[in-house]
Amino acid sequence: MARLNVNPTRMELKKLKARLSTAVRGHKLLKDKSDEMIRRFTVIIRENKALRDEVEAELAQTLKQFSVARSVTPAYSAETAFSMPTVAVKAECGVKSVMGVDVPDVSLIEEKRVDGLPYAFSEITSEADHSVGKISALLPKLIKLAQTEKTVRLLADEIERNKRRVNALEYIMIPQLEETIKYIRDKLDENERASIVRLMKVKSKQ
């Protein structure tokens, strides 16, 4: 490991010692942070998997049902019926912090519609009604999934970055500092011995 390019003086030694203690403390803190983040990540990713499986199954079923419903309705009447929604769903978007990472915190704002469906019953078959209802019911779950998945993404990035920092400290910074400190100490000791020997020699000649 290469040592830092510094002058072997007491001043530098003092500075480096301070840096080393900061680096060691920082390393410990970051390592703890990394451990905790990984623990939370495993919880969230399990939740995400369960939610994803559930949502995908339900969504696939609903969409299949909807295509059946659509196929029995003339295309133009389906278009007109579905293109005028009575409500626009909105979501409350907040930000919460998971281990210092800002992650989205979303919840659906419930808006009760007056008649339930955005079209007249005579236009569309009941299968379509059913699938529209199902999608509406599925929306909170979809939003939850969107939130957890984003959290997983953000947390994964942060864990990766943090790991890099921990490794840089552990395998580069700290060994480098230790080696430099050792080098300076050796050099200073050597100087001291040299001066003692010099003094002894001078004394013995007198």
Binding site for other proteins (CB under 8 A): 38, 41-42, 45-46, 48-49, 52, 55-56, 59-60, 62-64, 66-67, 70, 78-79, 81-83, 85-95, 102-104, 106, 109, 111, 117-119, 128, 131-132, 135-136, 139, 142-143, 145-147, 149-150, 152-157, 159-160
Q: Which is nearer to other proteins, 3 or 73 (CB)?
A: 73
Output phi, psi for 134, to 5 deg. Answer: -65, -40
- The distance of closest approach from Cβ of residue 65 to other proteins in the complex, given in angstroms and rounded to an integer, is 9
Shortest Å, Cβ 23 to other proteins: 24
Q: How far is the CB of 52 from other proteins (least distance, A)?
A: 5
DSSP assignment of 168-185 equals HIIIIIHHHHHHHHHHHH
Structure tokens at 109: 């704002």
**What minimum distance in Å lies between the beta carbon of 24 and other proteins?**
25
Backbone φ and ψ of 138, nearest 5°: -80, -20
- Measured from the CB atom, the residue of 61 and 195 that comes closer to other proteins is 61
Specify whether the CB–CB gap between 145 and 48 falls below 8 A: yes
Beta carbon nearer to other proteins, 117 or 168:
117
> 4 CB contacts (<8 Å, ≥6 apart)?
16, 176, 177, 180
Cα separation, 150 vs 163, in Å, equals 20
Q: Which residue, 21 or 86, is less far from other proteins as judged by CB? A: 86
